[in-house]
A and B are shown apart, each in its own frame.
Chain A
Amino acid sequence: MDCNLLIMPSYLCLYSKKKDLQSDNEIIQLVQDGETGKVGILYERHKKDLFYYFYRMTNDKLKSEDLVQNTFIKVLRFNHHYKRGQPFNFWLYSIARNLFLDSVAKKDVLKHSANEEALYNHYDEDQGVQKAMEQEEKHQILQIALNRLDSKKKEAIVLSRFQGMKYKDIAQLTNSTETNIKSRIRRGLEDLKLIMSKLELQ
């Protein structure tokens, strides 16, 4: 599998490097057979990708770590719901997404961020520091813009861009259509640009 990071940022590339080991589907079946400790292998394989997904969605490190842990505990508790032959990754993201949506329902995790604080408290210093700060500031602005994006558009961008999912898989995961997903990503990117321009003017 060709790891072109512009097309498949992290998940698929990592997966291709791990394919020489026992497959996820085989491992989850062992978990179903009672070898519950093997959830640990699935955790080790997917913890980082899932963390990145949650972090992009919440911009909250502690919350993301908690969500990753809980996703795999759910994998263990509800392993009997996994249907043999079903792509494990799709099942995993269904659990992760539901946990994320539950957490959003309890508290708006998108409202506040430490990055935003840092940006607003920022003041200019000498020119040498200025350049490095500009780059840092650009990243902060982009992260803030991403946080301010409508949640559905943001989800489509995160799943396609950072998690490397195909549009048809995102459509299936979110109960939508491929056309809607493409449209959401396109409009999300347009909004992102607009929000960034506004933030840069502040």
Chain B
Amino acid sequence: MENSRDCAHAKEQLLEEIQEGLSENGFDLFIEKHIACREELISMYNTLRQLDQLEMVEPSSDMDQGFYAKLAAEPKQKLKLRRSTIWFRNIAVAASIFMVGALIGFYLLDRGDHEMMMVEDDLLNQENIVLTSNSSMSRLEDISEMKNAPKLDKKIIEALNRALLNDPNVNVRLSAIEAMLHYADNPKVRENLIKAIPYQTSPIIQMTLAEVMISLDESESKDEWLQLFRSDRLEDGFKEQLEEALAPVMKL
């Protein structure tokens, strides 16, 4: 027969079992094994169940506004633009492709076989790159592929721009900005980044675009920011912080 000390031990054992995923049947079996502690175990189990039914208060939208206002007020860090390393990597990738291409070329010439010319990725071979996958993960992968493409072309520029303007997922839009930042030395990419500003409604995207513009010292974005400020796309309280953060760009 278990005494109160043993019941304490049985209760802690039950807690462990619950954390491991104890089922209702498992609970009944556990009770059978510890019959002397039955009442205490049931009581504890019921208290846990009551806790699970406890209603939860939801945070208000003020929490988001307050957070983004505080975030905007934080001192800005210069973004570490990785274009220089990307160039280095692209040169390395290009060199590898050249070497592999040359070897394949010699091999094919030697065999007189022209079937196998080049293995390129399907996505980058499409006439127009359209990110249609329902999975945000796939769209993120597509953007990553575009970011790592050996050569920037019109299709990639357009696809990234469409993702930034239209994708429903904020992570995909952020990835599009990140990819565009890698190509920020291209005038069309810079223009698309600027033109996207007035259409953004998410504070994260607005903040990221602000950081990009500050990092790029992009004074051309002034009119687009003013357009955004005049619209109702900014959350209350966030507007002032964003204006303050963008002061260096707006003064240029």
Chain A interface residues (CB < 8 Å from chain B):
2, 4-7, 9, 20-22, 33-41, 43-44, 47-48, 51-52, 55, 61, 64-66, 68-70, 72-73, 76-77, 138-139, 142-143, 146, 157, 160-162, 166-167, 182-183, 185-186, 189-190, 192-193
What is the CB-to-nearest-CB distance from B115 to chain A, in angstroms, rounded to a whole number?
Answer: 38
Complex formed: what's the CA distance from A190 to B71 in Å?
43
- Flag if A7 contacts B19 (CB, 8 Å): yes
CA distance A5 to B19 in the complex (A): 10
Do B48 and A189 touch (CB < 8 A)? Answer: yes
Residue contacts A-B, CB under 8 angstroms, 15 given: A20-B136, A22-B140, A37-B210, A40-B71, A44-B204, A61-B59, A65-B66, A68-B59, A72-B71, A157-B51, A160-B19, A183-B8, A189-B44, A192-B47, A193-B47
Q: Check A185/B15 contact, CB under 8 A, given A21-B137, A33-B80, A73-B74.
A: yes
Question: Considering only CB atoms, which chain B residue lies closest to A79 in the complex?
Answer: B77
Closest to B21 in A: A7
Asked whether B207 lies within 8 Å of A6 as measured between CB atoms, the reply is no
Smallest distance from the beta carbon of A189 to chain B beta carbons, Å? 5
Out of B44, B54, B170, name the residue touching A139 (CB < 8 Å).
B54
B171 touches A65 (CB 8 A): no
Asked if A21 and B140 make an inter-chain contact with CB atoms under 8 angstroms apart, the answer reads yes
Asked if A21 and B74 sit within 8 Å, CB to CB, the answer is no
The interface size bin for chain B is: 35 or more
Q: Does B33 count as interface, using CB distance less than 8 angstroms? A: no
Of A5, A77, A160, A182, which is within 8 A of B52 by CB?
Answer: A5
Indicate if the CB atoms of A51 and B59 lie closer than 8 Å. Answer: yes
Chain B residues near A65: list those with CB within 8 A: 59-60, 62-63, 66
Set of chain A residues within 8 Å of B117, measured between Cβ atoms: none
Alpha-carbon gap, A63 to B8, bound state (A): 36
Contacts of B54 in A (CB 8 A): 139, 142-143, 146
Query: Does chain A have a CB within 8 A of B18?
Result: yes
Q: What separation, in Å, do the CA atoms of A20 and B64 have in the docked complex? A: 24
A43 contacts B16, CB within 8 Å? no
Beta-carbon contact of A34 and B80 below 8 Å: yes
- Given A41-B170, A182-B15, A186-B11; 17 other pairs, CB 8 A cutoff: A4-B21, A6-B49, A9-B52, A36-B74, A36-B77, A38-B208, A40-B204, A41-B204, A47-B59, A48-B59, A55-B57, A73-B74, A77-B74, A138-B50, A161-B48, A186-B8, A186-B12
Asked if A52 and B68 make an inter-chain contact with CB atoms under 8 angstroms apart, the answer reads: no
- Residues of A near B126 (CB, < 8 A) are none
Nearest CB of chain B from residue A134's CB, rounded to whole Å: 14
Cβ-defined contact, A182 with B16, below 8 A: yes
CB distance from A3 to the nearest CB of B (A): 11
Contacts of B57 in A (CB 8 A): 55, 61
Output the nearest chain B residue to A18 by Cβ-Cβ distance. Answer: B171
Instruction: Say whether B113 faces chain A, with CB atoms less than 8 Å apart.
Output: no
Check B53 for interface membership: any CB of A closer than 8 A. Answer: yes
B82 and chain A: residue at smallest CB distance: A33
B162-193 Cβ-contact flags toward A at 8 Å (1 or 0): 00000000110010001000000000000000
